[in-house]
Amino acid sequence: MRLFLIVSTASFSHEAAMNGLRITSFMTMKFDFLPKG
């Protein structure tokens, strides 16, 4: 049971990291389209 909890937590944190990376890249892409200055 504890092993399952560890695995599910690891996969969840991996999903959260991938989502955060996707959101960060999307925001940088969005800001790149904005006129500078």
pLDDT of residue 25: 87
Q: What is the pLDDT of residue 4?
A: 87
Residue 14 structure tokens: 């991996």
Q: pLDDT for 1-37, tens place per residue?
A: 788 888 889 888 889 989 989 988 888 877 776 666 5
Query: What confidence score (pLDDT) does residue 34 get?
Result: 66
pTM, two decimals, is 0.50
Q: Which long-range contacts (CB under 8 A, 24 or more apart) does 13-18 make?
A: none
CA–CA distance from 28 to each of 8, 21, 31, 32 (Å)? 30, 11, 5, 6
Q: Is the dihedral of CA 11, 17, 20, 22 positive or negative?
A: negative
pLDDT score at 37: 57
Give the CA distances from residue 22 to residues 6, 7, 19, in Å, rounded to whole numbers and listed in that order: 24, 22, 5
pLDDT at position 32 is 72
